[in-house]
Amino acid sequence: MLLLPSVIGCGEGMKMNAQRGAVLIVSLVFLLMLTLLATSSMQNATLQEKVAGTLKRRDASFQSAETALRIAEARIVTTGFSLQGCPSPAKCLPPPEALTLLNSGAGGDSGVNWVATRGGFYGIQHVGKTDQPAGGADGQLLTLYRVTAIGIEGDSRTVLESIHTEERRVMWRQRQ
């Protein structure tokens, strides 16, 4: 009779040790899942931070380009502003160097004189005369100017163009 209780006691002890092993395994699985969840959350947060930084630089470059565009347009409407016309039709095209320009001064194939502003550049081209600008009065001969403005912020570049008369903006676009 003394042996029977000890055998029963050994069986219960083995069950208890087996249960403790299962709890350890379940705990490790939960810990692994929490670690994967935390890692995924950190990667997502890092990605969102990069996207936010890119959007901030893009917005800042757009604002710089818009500021340069407004400065150039204000210059055009000042009394006494004049600029020589394009020497050839090829020189009246939108300046291709606007997509790569890094310094002020006369640049590229277009011959545009680039003026530095805070955060960018602008250039003005005299592209011709018209008697019918969009939304304007017929019969009045007006000079057309192309204003190209560049905003640079970090690795973001924005190029804006407007067609302007001596009086007002006729057209606006953003170049890619």
Mean pLDDT by 10 residues, the chain (176 residues): 48 60 88 94 94 95 96 92 85 89 81 91 91 69 92 94 89 86
Enclosing domain of residue 153? 52-175
Domain assignment present for 10: no
Q: Are 145 and 164 in contact (CB under 8 A)?
A: yes
Name the domain count of the chain.
Answer: 1
Answering whether pTM is above 0.85, one says no
Domain assignment present for 118: yes
Domain assignment present for 37: no
Domain assignment present for 27: no
Query: From CA 117, how far away is CA 69, in angstroms rounded?
Result: 10
H helix or E strand, kind and range, residue 166: none
Query: From CA 78, how far away is CA 70, in angstroms rounded?
Result: 13
Q: Which residue carries 């470059």 as its tokens? A: 61
Domain assignment present for 84: yes
Pick from 143, 150, 77: nearest CA to 107: 150
What's the pLDDT score for residue 1?
A: 46
Domain assignment present for 4: no
